[in-house]
Amino acid sequence: MLSPCLQNTQTSRHPTPSVNCGVNPPSKIRRYFLSYILSTRSRDSDLLNFDDYKDYWRDLTLGNYIDEELPVFQLRILGKGVPPDILQFGVLTVVSLKFVSILKELHAEHCVQLFPVDVYLKQGKWEEQHYVMTVTNKLDCIDLEKSKYEVIADLYKDICPLVLDETKITENDCVFVLSSAIYSSIFMNDRAKEYFKKAKLKKVSFYEIDEWNSSILNPHN
């Protein structure tokens, strides 16, 4: 979170009174928003009407904006238990209505595109609406000097360790993905992370980027 003396310099829906924080060296003042990787977990499931999306699959997987109405996704979830508030189906991310409501609280609708999903369990159709969420907010924020990567066809791939230039991430970049990169993770800034942590949604959790890098470099740790 931002220190009290910085909160007044940022655009915020919750202004705070002026606080005398004393004088700090400029190098110790954080003027940007830290980012975290949103954890998504797969669940055994089938897309019942896959053929309806053949013409749109590339745009869906790349997070390109689709300027037309799509048929409602029909997703069958196998196994027991209620649907979590976020799950991964192949390359697609499916989120609950509760998840979407928090995006609206954050005024983050501009970061994503949502497509309705009817979820079916063994006992029948689930009562709550879900959505395929594609992230259309793409940021050019890789720190190319500190990250390690390969470049193929002008795209960054095999990025590890990943280091972001956090100065390019604003308060309004609640949800984003990396532009010009083959990197499937969804990112949230620390403002969004705090909203979601307080909501305590099912299976919604976060990785610090350093922790994520370590898990890739040392998968058995």
pLDDT digits (tens, 9 = 90+) for 175-206: 999 998 888 889 999 999 999 999 989 889 89
Query: Is residue 25 in some structural domain?
Result: no
Domain count, the chain: 2
Among 11-20, 35-44, 189-198, which stretch is predicted with the lowest mean pLDDT? 11-20
What residues contact 128, with CB distance under 8 A and at least 6 apart? 83, 96, 97, 119
Average pLDDT on 115-133 reads 93
Report if residue 22 sits inside a domain. no
Residues 100, 49, single domain; the answer is yes
C-alpha 11/C-alpha 171 separation (Å) is 8
User: In this structure, are 120 and 191 located in the same domain?
Assistant: no
Domain that holds residue 119: 41-135
Measure the CA–CA gap between 147 and 207, rounded to whole angstroms.
Answer: 18
pTM, two decimals, is 0.79
Residue 207 pLDDT > 50: yes
Provide the 3-class DSSP secondary structure of residue 46. Answer: strand
Pick from 98, 120, 135: which residue ends a domain? 135
Does one domain contain both 89 and 103? yes
One domain, residues 143 and 120: no
Q: In terms of domains, do 54 and 117 share one?
A: yes
In a domain, 6, yes or no: no
Q: Are residues 144 and 127 in the same domain?
A: no
Using the predicted structure, report yes or no on whether residue 156 has a pLDDT greater than 50. Answer: yes
**13 falls within a domain:** no
Last residue of a domain, one of 90, 110, 135: 135
189 and 208 together in one domain = yes
Q: Which pLDDT value is given to residue 40?
A: 78
Q: Does residue 168 lie in a domain region?
A: yes
Q: In 3-state terms, what secondary structure has residue 74?
A: strand
Q: Residues 187, 190, 194, 197: is their CA dihedral positive or negative?
A: positive
* Residue 140 CA, distance from chain mean position: 15
Phi, psi of 98 (to 5 degrees): -65, -40
pLDDT mean across residues, the chain: 82
